[in-house]
Amino acid sequence: MRTIHWSTISRAMRPSPMQSEPRLVLASSNPAKLRRLRGLFTGLPLRLSTPGERGLRLNVPEHGLTHEENAASKAVAWSEAARGYAIASDGGLLLPGLGDRWNSLHTQRFAGPDATDADRGKTLLNVMSGLSSDARGAWWYEALALAYRGDLLACWAVCSGQGVIDPSFDPQDMEPGFWVASLWSFPLIGKTYRQASASDLAAVGEPWSRLRTIAAPAVRRWLHAARWAPIV
């Protein structure tokens, strides 16, 4: 895997006369993540598609030692499969109160390979039972990577503001694909992630809100350098 610079991207991205918009694969099958990936590029002249819509199938192992490594490996692999552009992310909960009993890289898998989202929520609450309120602090770390035909173009990573794990978990009120949303709450706004509005989430430093302020301008510059569209 190699990383190339924006000047190289501008040469690689020059459109052919028959092209109108670059195609970008959103490298995920998770419905919650797909919504967030799409939201990053609202208003930009990109043809966004999922692997399913492109007829692509791929299993990319998440063996990286960091979320950045996992995001990059997924973006690179899917960009090779799509023979074009792909964007992927990898994230997890940071729970310092659990010490070495918790690894954010295993957020989705810690309850077992066949666990449901409800299982994951209940298991986390069991693991955290007995912790004081001060030890229930929770942050979300998210890495995002963009690749083209096997080359890593860019990688960004952000950490959210502080929230807490709320023991009043309702497994009936869950966002499919993002179980953390129902038990991650923010004292600053008095709401869980699931209950919060877009402006609420921006106020507490929600990672996808922060990524949009970083990634979207970078991609806009990339489009402009490649002569796809004007900067607006």
Instruction: Give the closest residue to 82 by CA, choosing from 23, 29, 10.
Output: 23
Question: Is 140 inside any structural domain?
Answer: yes
158: CB partners within 8 A, 6+ apart = 141, 142, 207, 210, 211, 214
Question: Is 230 inside any structural domain?
Answer: no
- Domain holding 159, by residue range, is 6-225
* Number of domains observed in the structure of the chain: 1
pLDDT at residue 231 is higher than 50: no
Contact 61, 90 (CB under 8 A): no
pLDDT per residue over 154-195, tens digit each? 999 999 999 999 988 888 888 989 999 999 999 999 999 999
d(CA 49, CA 12): 20
pLDDT per residue over 101-145, tens digit each? 999 999 999 999 899 999 999 999 999 998 998 999 999 999 999
Higher pLDDT, 69 or 218: 69
Q: What is the CATH number of the domain that holds 13?
A: 3.90.950.10
Contact 155, 199 (CB under 8 A): no
What share of the chain in percent tops pLDDT 70?
88
Question: Is 232 inside any structural domain?
Answer: no
Q: What is the mean pLDDT of the chain?
A: 87
164: CB partners within 8 A, 6+ apart = 133, 136, 137, 138, 184, 185, 186, 187
Say what the pLDDT of residue 20 is. 59
Question: Is 231 inside any structural domain?
Answer: no
End-to-end CA distance of the chain: 32
Question: Is 1 inside any structural domain?
Answer: no
